[in-house]
Amino acid sequence: MRKRILTGITTTGTPHIGNYIGAIKPALELVAPDNDSYFFLADYHALIKQTNPSEIEASVKNVALAWLSSGLDPEQSYFYRQSDIPEVHELTWILNCSAAKGLLNRAHAYKAIVAENTQSGSDEDKAINMGLFSYPVLMAADILIFSATHVPVGPDQAQHMEMTRDIAGKFNHTYSNLLTLPEAIIQSEISVPGNDGRKISKSYNNIIPFLCSEKALQKSISKIVTNSLEPGEPKDYKACTLFQLYSFFANAEEINNMKQSYKDGIGWGDVKKDLFTAINNEILPIREKYIQLNDQPDLLNDLFSDGARKVRPHAQELVGKLREAVGISKIV
């Protein structure tokens, strides 16, 4: 049986090095001739936290171009935008009517905000909208609408897959065995440091840009924090942000040579030069393709339309069966 692997792509903000290393590369490595690979832009999910329409539009464009530039081939995979598949939202409501509130109460993101509010003495529902509370149901619909058999997730997202299986299982038990219960492909957590050594995050303002100019990349790398050890003094590569980043872009021989250079007392300036070269060598063709694609304003709209045309028939067929199963069908 062919695997149907579905990957949801977050559409908030501008992609950075952490997104490329931790999300884009691992997902594209799963594409294979004997699998059906589905990639979708989860643009409706962005409404949970983002209320600026222009920011959402810009993010969708930048994220889509980043994935396409990095090697996502719409001819080899199914690539579509969530908002172009209205059946997702019909399925979401059907699933809402099967999903237990107690299950959603246990969602990590929701519980974290409730705990934060409680700790600060605020109302426990402060800053919580229904989108945040019920987004696991929309996520389940994203997965179930195309009968995905496998979904790659990080360890922190495993709960979403468990909830999806629970929701689908309850529907199947109540009505009919129509929803495929997907399996999680648990991917190793990749912790990518930002320029201050902490995990790269927009909230820390420590990101290293991905699709910027060479000059901007060099400037960002020059800001990476190091200790005060001078050239000639041996250095510990194990807890070094520069080395951690370098290891994501260098081959085994280059990594071993860099370890020796640390022991020999390489200067921080030289490490930063080598890091820039390693990152830039890999990103250069991606950057060039990004610039090329960005100059084609109709490209994304054409790809989104084509993607929806390819995948919607399955969604329409499944929703038709679900309607009949729950009793919303033609009167006879």
106 found inside a domain? no
Question: Could you tell me the CATH number of the domain that includes residue 146?
Answer: 3.40.50.620
Q: Could you tell me the CA-to-CA distances from 327 to 167, 174, 178 in Å, in that order?
A: 19, 12, 14
Cβ neighbours of residue 303 closer than 8 Å, sequence gap 6 or more: 64, 68, 74, 79
171 found inside a domain? yes
| Whole-angstrom distance, CA of residue 92 vs CA of residue 134 | 10
158 and 85 together in one domain: yes
109 found inside a domain? no
| Whole-angstrom distance, CA of residue 40 vs CA of residue 135 | 16
Is residue 161 within 8 A of residue 148, CB to CB? The reply is: no
Please report the pLDDT score of residue 243 as a whole number.
97
Give me the sheet containing 78-81, strands edge to edge.
78-81, 35-42, 3-10, 150-153, 183-186
Q: Which domain holds residue 235?
A: 212-292
225 and 159 together in one domain: no
Please report the pLDDT score of residue 13 as a whole number.
81
180 and 286 together in one domain: no
Please report the pLDDT score of residue 216 as a whole number.
95
How many domains does the chain divide into? 2
Is residue 178 within 8 A of residue 7, CB to CB? The reply is: no
Closest CA to 27 of 220, 134, 157: 157
Tens place of pLDDT for every residue, the chain, 332 residues? 799 999 999 998 889 999 999 999 999 999 999 999 999 999 999 999 899 999 999 999 999 999 999 999 999 999 999 999 999 999 999 999 999 999 999 999 999 999 999 999 999 999 999 999 999 999 999 999 999 999 999 888 899 999 999 999 999 999 999 999 999 999 888 889 999 999 998 888 999 998 999 999 999 999 999 999 999 999 999 989 999 999 999 999 999 999 999 999 999 999 999 999 999 999 999 999 999 999 897 999 999 999 999 999 999 999 999 999 999 988 87
Is residue 237 within 8 A of residue 220, CB to CB? The reply is: no
118 found inside a domain? no
pTM: 0.92
43 and 178 together in one domain: yes
270 and 252 together in one domain: yes
Helix (H) or strand (E) holding 315: helix 299-326
Please report the pLDDT score of residue 45 as a whole number.
95
Please report the pLDDT score of residue 190 as a whole number.
87
Please report the pLDDT score of residue 164 as a whole number.
98
Is residue 109 within 8 A of residue 160, CB to CB? The reply is: no
176 found inside a domain? yes
285 and 302 together in one domain: no
The sign of the dihedral angle between the CA atoms of 73, 75, 78, 84 is: positive
308 found inside a domain? yes
